[in-house]
Amino acid sequence: MKKILTLLVVLLGFASVNAQTLIRTGQTLQISIIGVPVSEKGRLDSTYSVSSTGHIEMWMIGKVKVSGLTKSNLATKIATEYKNAEIYTNPVFQVFSGADARTQDSQFYTVGGEVRSPGQKQWTEGMTLYSAIQGAGGESPYAAMNRVRLYRNGKKYEYDMKRQEHKAVKIYVRDVIEVPEGNIIGR
């Protein structure tokens, strides 16, 4: 009887490990960080595609091997990488995939910083930088609208929302917008 119980416990343990789906190449992951400034969330909260070599590319730490890990293992691994790189002291990551993540067809942009409703927003064709900020509830009273940052394809651009041509800059899927806090004189 004791051997049967031991075997049952081992089998149940094995089944629970297999029930946690392992990340595979070609998969899309939704990764989000908690407990950091909103401007930092905008750099990390995104959808990541697992490359054919089983890696994703993350801000500041580069390539991270993800295939073969569970979502919870990956969240711990990413947090450890950021701690070891001395970028964050105690980050908390969430990893979603498959049915629990946004669909691969979802098109969104991210707005962070001094806006009333930061986070990921639904992108629409023809969207401008100004309309994207308004889609996040508009700027807060502390916003420095003369230094709005746009992150696209690893590059950073800065715009002044008081200039009409800057308001009209087109926004694309996966763009990240940061509205910084103004300094002591409001700039």
Whether 187 maps to a domain, the answer reads no
Return the SS3 of 1: coil
What distance, in Å, lies between the first and last C-alpha atoms of the chain? 75
Q: Which residues contact 183 (CB under 8 A, 6 or more apart)?
A: 144
Range of the domain at 63: 28-100
What does the alpha-carbon distance between residue 112 and residue 38 come to, in Å, rounded to a whole number? 5
CATH code of the domain in which 164 resides:
3.10.560.10
pLDDT of 114:
92
**pLDDT, mean over the chain:** 81
Are 94 and 43 in a shared domain? yes
Q: How many domains in the chain?
A: 2
Q: Tell me, yes or no, whether 60 and 81 share the same domain.
A: yes
Statement to judge: residues 96 and 118 lie in one domain? no
User: What's the CA gap between 161 and 147, in Å, rounded?
Assistant: 8
For residue 8, tell me if it sits in a domain: no
Q: Which of 100, 116, 136 is the last residue of a domain?
A: 100
Q: What is the DSSP string of 142-176?
A: TB-GGGEEEEETTEEEEE-TTSHHHHT-B--TT-E
φ and ψ of 6, to 5 deg: -60, -45
Residues 32 and 94 in one domain: yes
Same domain, 131 and 160: yes
- pLDDT per residue as tens digits for the range 80-128: 999 899 988 877 787 887 655 444 446 888 888 899 888 878 888 889 9
Q: What is the sign, positive or negative, of the torsion defined by CA atoms of 128, 132, 135, 137?
A: negative
Mean of pLDDT values over 130-135: 93
In a domain, 166, yes or no: yes
Q: What is the mean pLDDT of residues 22-41?
A: 82
- Is residue 5 assigned to a domain? no
Domain match, 94 and 113 both: no
Let me know whether 33 and 80 are in one domain.
Answer: yes
Evaluate whether residue 67 is within a structural domain. Answer: yes
pLDDT tens-digit series, residues 46-84: 888 899 999 999 999 999 999 999 888 898 899 899 989
